[in-house]
Amino acid sequence: MRPSRSRTTGHGKSKNASPLPMDGEAPRIAVIGAGISGLTCATEIAKLGCGVSVLDKARGPGGRMSTRRVPDLGVGADFDHGAQYFTVRSPELSSRVEQWSSEGVVAPWHGRIVALGPDGVEESSGITRRVVGTPGMNAICQRLAAGLDTRLGVQVSSIESDGDAWTVLDRAGDNVGTFEKVICTAPAPQTEKLLRGIAPELADRAAAVQMQPCWSVLLAFDAPIPVDFDGAFVNHGPLSWVARTSAKPARQTPPDRWVLHAGPSWSEAHLEDDAEPVVEALVAAFFDALDARPSQPAWCKGHRWRFALAQNPLADGCFYDRRLGIGACGDWANGNRVEGAFLSGLRLAQEIERALDR
């Protein structure tokens, strides 16, 4: 895959940068990962005037908040195959959501969400404010990445000490750049691997977190599935969640599109299976959970998330070793989920700012 950049800002100070209370050049910082934690952290430290480069192995920003485009199904017939929505509890995310809402990249999702148990449909308990990216879950990350030096298709394979700085190497062993600080925002097992040789204490913290997999199935139907809810927590069988993705705001184009998520135990047991039998089993479980006569999807696809959610997330917020100039953040470091990841990125940027102030 050829590396691409969404924007090149170089290492100079950004227009709105506050002057750094430092002698000499602004530090160059590599942020590995263009998910919500990495892009939040990168956005904040770029405001300090640091030269920030965001590196991600994927073709687009978003990480586990990504959106799958299927041009064969028509314009806008996309699928949120990772995070389905996010909840907002903190004042920090609340004010950011207001800003993103005014920019058109998020909207509230007022869909009817139920629980499906062996006895049928039950209303889902509690009032939850659910927010989705528009027109897809990746919209927020795309928006943030566009304002940064974001280099896609770059898989970091090692970080090597180069005296006072760090040299970042890609999978081919090519030099991606030399940076004073490196921030890793990959899921815990991948962070552990990248930091083991250079920051063993941070690697140990990441190693303490187990991440669970999730098989996700994307389905399109010619005739809409006749149910009167938009999403459901499934409390029996292999599935844990099903949602009509085409019922969310700014996605309401045909065909009728569904996303199914298998629960962690089922996903773990079938982790190395081929996608085809997994799709078959989960489609059967879908109609079983709906207690409906099966119909043939017009299009289907299976996607394996090897590291979907942390089973035992930490509550540290983030990690930063000032002496080394190495940091780590992400959902696994801060209670899981989109909001945890966002706050983790924010906290790490604050840590870096405090360290620069010294």
Ligand X SMILES: Cc1cc2nc3c(=O)[nH]c(=O)nc-3n(C[C@H](O)[C@H](O)[C@H](O)COP(=O)(O)OP(=O)(O)OC[C@H]3O[C@@H](n4cnc5c(N)ncnc54)[C@H](O)[C@@H]3O)c2cc1C
Q: Does 31 bind ligand X (CB under 6 A)?
A: no
Q: Does 28 bind ligand X (CB under 6 A)?
A: no
Q: Does 190 bind ligand X (CB under 6 A)?
A: yes
How near is the Cβ of 235 to ligand X at its closest, in Å? 16
Residue number with CB closer to ligand X (17 or 169): 169
Residue number with CB closer to ligand X (85 or 266): 85
How near is the Cβ of 9 to ligand X at its closest, in Å? 19
Give the closest residue to 331 by CA, choosing from 321, 318, 348.
318
Between CA 348 and CA 345 the distance in angstroms is: 5
Helix residue ranges per DSSP H, the chain: 36-47, 91-102, 139-146, 188-195, 200-207, 264-269, 275-290, 337-357
Q: Does 258 bind ligand X (CB under 6 A)?
A: no
98 to 137: interface string for ligand X, x by CB under 6 A: ----------------------------------------
CB 203 within 8 A of CB 323: no
CB 110 within 8 A of CB 247: no
Residue number with CB closer to ligand X (28 or 64): 64
Q: Does 302 bind ligand X (CB under 6 A)?
A: no
Q: Identify the sign of the CA torsion 118, 122, 125, 128.
A: positive
Q: Which of 266, 305, 319, 320 binds ligand X (CB under 6 A)?
A: 305
DSSP assignment string, 178-229: EESEEEE-S-HHHHHHHHTTT-HHHHHHHHT--EEEEEEEEEEESS----S-
Residue number with CB closer to ligand X (53 or 190): 190
Give the closest residue to 238 by CA, choosing from 265, 274, 273.
265
Q: Does 65 bind ligand X (CB under 6 A)?
A: yes
How near is the Cβ of 18 to ligand X at its closest, in Å? 25
Interface residue list for ligand X (CB under 6 A): 32-38, 55-58, 63-65, 82-86, 155-156, 185-187, 190, 214, 216, 261, 305, 308-309, 330-331, 336-338, 341
